[in-house]
Chain A
Amino acid sequence: MSMTQDHEVRPAAVTEQHGVAPIRPRSSRSRRRAELTGFAFVSPFLAILTLFMLVPIGYAIYSSLYTTKLIGGTSYSGLANYRTVLGSGEFWSGVERVSLFAVIQVPLTVGLALFFAVIFDAGLSRFGRFFRLVYFMPFAVPAVVASVMWSFLLLPTFGPYTRLAKTLGMHNPNFFSSRLIVPTIIAIVVWEWTGYNMTILYTALKAIPSSLTEAAILDGAPFTTIVRRIKLPMLRPALVMLCFLNLVGALQLFTEPSILSAFQPQAVSFGFTPSLFVYNTAIGSAEYNLGAAAAVILGLLIGGISVASVSLRRRSGELS
């Protein structure tokens, strides 16, 4: 992202007083006034940001250092809660599960999105505009509703897709079994997000000057070469960003498994994903301090990945 600071180049001759002043730098007083005005414009946002994000996070870190017992009340316990969370197999099994989920879901979503964006951009498919609209529709469907629909479609015995799978020769299909629950959630998330990813890639493709493609065609380059040598390199920043966004989303997976658990409670365990672990610990079991520690750990995990990816992109020169 470019952060050009162009405020230095304002015409020096124009001052707060009327008309044209002798050419000299703005007086320090009017400069200070401009600074204050700027800060005044920013401050309402800062106030809400502080009250509803920074203060709560600070408080969560504070309370993660304490332990509340039924007898004896609340007492300082240092990093004990962190040790409990990090020593919990349940927490790590959730981390493992979302990592596995991400390894499959992210490339699948971005890959499908890329495939269709290229097809529509080149006009290879007919009715491209219609398809783009259809693919984007799930963006308007809350994850809760999407999960409810899919739960019914995949219901054991009665679900239409379950019946279809049986007709196609699958033996006793159960999409909520421990073997299939992760692929099931992957299908739901791919359904939800492919169109969104495709729209971003499509816009990025449209921004590539067509003269580049024309020149390649005149040189006799086949379509696959044009895609590989011209389109993909130009799409790289958008692709990297989408992979990163999808990854962060995948690690926070919560809504889909939480709704599926309403239909098949045994399919989704207490710590199925780290976010579910945080929720069930804090809200379900009312262990607020422990939940706070888990939330902090999750935040650090995801924040760490984000920082690493940003610095990676900065090093490769994609961010200035």
Chain B
Amino acid sequence: MTVMTRPTPRRRKAKQGPAIPVHLYGLPRGATVAATVLATLFALFILAPILWLVINATKTQANVYQSFGFWFARPFRLWPNLKELFTNASGAGVYARWLANTAIYAALGGVGATVLSALAGYGFSRYGFRGSRSLFGLILSTLLIPITSIALPLYLVYAKVGLINSIWGMILPSMVAPVGVYLMRTYIDSAVPRELMDAARIDGAGELKVFLRIGVPLMMPGAVTVLLLSVVAVWNNYFLPLVIFSRNSSYPLTVGLASLSHAAETGSKAQLVPVLIAGGLVTIVPLIILFLLLEKYFRGDALQGSVTG
């Protein structure tokens, strides 16, 4: 998954210039209205499922099926539904545990991916060593390997070395982010001036110190983007944990919710459906908040590199 544009260190505001007033395009008068209507329709298409999730997390099982899907119905069961998430009502496992697991996997995997990418990107950008070009090419080419073709091999190896159900079996592969290496390399190319590094060297700083004192502060904005993208990637990952975890106490949210949905559909004993819906709601709320707060880091040019499986 090759990326075309380099992420620029600072968004150049002047380049974009003032927006061109719409009326200059000489479009028929209805064009703006038609465009707004179409955009609104698509927004409804996007928002409706999320709205449905919010509303139905407050219902009883019977009401999920029988009442009108896009409006509330009595009794209001949001709190009991949320409470049941944190008990093992389904026998499939405890949601709170999955939430904690996901947070651990995403935090350690994301930070690890960012640190490794920053180190490697810095090495590639600022030191040419023999074979660095072909090595960089090799790293980029691993992007072409589909996730399905990595998860099963990992499972086979884990079965041999006893890493099945180990949290490190999830965290360590999540640290492999070739896109992160690419993004950090291009970012450092334009954000960390060589002159500054050489000046520090003349002052007697060792290479590690040059990296920590000059490289790291200057590459921070790029690193934040890589961190966010890796956190989202781990948070959303389904195939790898599905394959390598057989114990539901190790599950992340995605696999946990999937097993909960199996339980909700097959077992008819408990009121699991609204619990499942509430679980979906609690799963997406942290990410939506994260995304709204840090929207500027999810820029298009950086996103080009993020390919989640």
Contacts and interface: CB of A to CB of B under 8 A. Distances in A.
A125 B49 contact: no
A217 B117 contact: no
Nearest to A57: B153
A46 B16 CA distance: 39
A245 interface: yes
A38 B49 contact: no
B80 interface: no
Given A51-B172, A60-B152, A259-B258, A142 B235 contact: yes
A126 B128 contact: no
Interface in A35-93: 35-42, 44-46, 48-49, 51-53, 55-57, 59-60, 63
Interface in B37-52: 38-40, 42-43, 45-50, 52
Instruction: Give the dominant DSSP class at A's interface.
Output: helix
B202 A14 contact: yes
A319 interface: yes
A52 B68 CA distance: 48
Contacts of B253: 142, 144
Interface in B87-143: 115-117, 119-120, 122-124, 126-130, 132-133, 135-136, 139, 142
Contacts of B283: 142, 145
Contact of A153 (B5, B19, B49): B49
B135 A42 contact: yes
A135 B43 contact: yes
A216 to B, nearest CB: 10
A225 to B, nearest CB: 10
A48 B120 CA distance: 12
B262 to A, nearest CB: 5
Contacts of B142: 49, 53
Given A259-B261, A295-B152, A144 B116 contact: no
A124 B175 contact: no
A177 B243 CA distance: 28
A270 B164 CA distance: 24
Interface in B156-193: 156-157, 160, 172-173, 175-176, 178, 181-182, 186, 189
A44 B120 contact: yes
B1 to A, nearest CB: 6
Q: Which of A34, A48, A298 has the most CB of B within 10 A?
A: A48
B19 A10 contact: no
Interface in B273-305: 276-277, 280, 283-284, 287-288, 290-292, 295, 298-301, 303-304
A145 B102 CA distance: 14
Nearest to B243: A283
B201 interface: yes
A288 interface: yes
Interface string A171-200: 000000000000000000001001110011
B128 A152 contact: no
A245 B146 CA distance: 11
User: Which of A2, A6, A149 lies at the interface centre, i.e. has the most chain B CB atoms within 10 A of its CB?
Assistant: A149
Interface string A115-134: 11001101111111001011
Interface in A271-320: 274-275, 278-279, 282-283, 288, 291-292, 295-296, 298-299, 302-303, 306-307, 310, 313, 318-319
Contact of B123 (A10, A39, A48, A283): A39
Given A5-B133, A160-B70, A48 B155 contact: no
Contacts of B175: 48, 52
Contact of A56 (B19, B22, B47, B154): B154
Contacts of B65: 155, 158
Contact of B2 (A39, A60, A209, A241): A241
A174 to B, nearest CB: 16
B14 to A, nearest CB: 11
B254 A142 contact: yes
A248 to B, nearest CB: 7
A23 interface: no
B157 A56 contact: yes
Nearest to B150: A53
Interface string A1-23: 11111111011001010110000
B73 interface: no
A282 B155 contact: yes
Contacts of A52: 154, 172-173, 175-176
12 contacts: A39-B129, A51-B172, A52-B154, A125-B32, A142-B253, A142-B287, A153-B69, A213-B20, A222-B25, A254-B148, A262-B261, A275-B239
Given A39-B129, A158-B65, A278-B149, 10 more contacts: A11-B198, A38-B129, A134-B43, A141-B50, A145-B254, A160-B69, A204-B301, A263-B265, A292-B152, A295-B153
